[in-house]
Amino acid sequence: MHPPERLDRFMARANTIYYATHDPFADFTTSPEISQVFGEILGLWAAVVWRMLGSPGPVLLAEAGPGRGTLMADALRAIGRAAPDFAAALRVHLIETSPRLRTAQAARVPEAVWHDSLDTVPEAPLILLANEFLDALPIRQFVRRGDGWTERFVADGAWIEQPADNAQVPPGRGAAEGGIVELNEPARAFVAALAGRLRRHPGVALLVDYGPASSAAGDSLQALARRKPVDPLSPPGSADLTAHVDFADMAETARSAGAAVQGPVTQGAFLSALGVFQRTAALARGRSETQAAALREGTRRLTDAAAMGDLFKVLVVASPGCGTLPGFAADPGR
């Protein structure tokens, strides 16, 4: 018998083992791994944003949770071709806790400087990218019981509930009896720290993840092993644990900490506004029919509402007074 472990502590422990011992991409795939156009478009977006910020130099091009380093490598390649002045001004900083993934990142982005957290990233003008970073951070879950709440713990591979401090439960999610409300404290802390930096120095953070635009009750904890859903309470480290990102909560956290927010918009709308179909067509020209079809299929998966286009959202946290950024026009083309 182990003492009961609060869900966020279980999830943190499980994911630390998981990311240290697995190639996560055998178990799930992500937008940068689906298509090179994802990282290229984010890189070109960063170049346009850098000019809107007044072309500061040096500027940090940072990424949180860079996985295999694919997004950053694709972004840097596109930036090098289209915006050599930005390429010369930027310094790459990667926030990554897994030694194993740092090694993979170093093979693709050898010039990077690594950090365990945002805390040690230098204070400077900043453009930060993150794809599927916040969803990997550990959540707490509260269960509506009568007039109050309990909190979910894990004991010997099974769920148990213990009395909760009602004041910690995020309000306004409308959970019925037995319904679950989630709280991602490290995501809030990350966004609040980011907002503080963006108040002190010009910059933006582009946060791409999966989850609803408005807060709602519900259990979104998901475990994947070999691309199939498994029990989240499988032995720690045997599966990748993620949960929906509450974009309304992230936006509120950023605003309360003094930053501006744009979006969230859907990934499909964002990539379309930035010309993903034109870029895909241009890349496909001069390739074999098989390669061209693979590029088109990748873009379809990233943008199609039934695939990743609607569930994935893009949120910007920015310095106050930053103009409307590409992809975030109030009423895109309608």
- Residues in contact with ligand SAH by CB under 6 A are 19, 24, 30, 32-33, 65-67, 71, 95-98, 101, 131-133, 136-137
Distance CA 59, CA 81 (A): 18
Helix (H/G/I), strand (E/B), else coil: 317: strand
Q: What is the DSSP letter of 157?
A: T
Residue closer to ligand SAH by CB (options 72, 260) is 72
130 vs 79: CA distance, rounded Å? 17
Pick 65 or 211: Cβ nearer ligand SAH? 65
264 upstream amide cis, omega within 30 of 0: yes
What's the min distance (Å) between Cβ of 249 and ligand SAH? 18
For residue 315, the minimal CB distance to ligand SAH (Å) is 15
CB 206, min distance to ligand SAH, A? 12
| Closer by beta carbon to ligand SAH, 114 or else 159 | 114
Query: Closest approach of Cβ 67 to ligand SAH, in Å?
Result: 3
Q: Nearest approach, Cβ of 102 to ligand SAH (angstroms)?
A: 9
Taking the least distance from each CB to ligand SAH, the nearer of 97 and 150 is: 97
- What tokens were used for 176? 């019925």
Residue 240 or 260: which CB sits closer to ligand SAH?
240
> In sequence order, what are the residues at sequence separation of 6 or more whose Cβ sits closer than 8 angstroms to the Cβ of residue 97?
16, 19, 116, 117
* Radius of gyration from C-alpha coordinates of the chain: 20
Q: What is the DSSP string of 267-318?
A: HHHHHHHTTHHHHHHHHHTTS-HHHHHHHHHHHHHHH-IIIIITTEEEEEEE
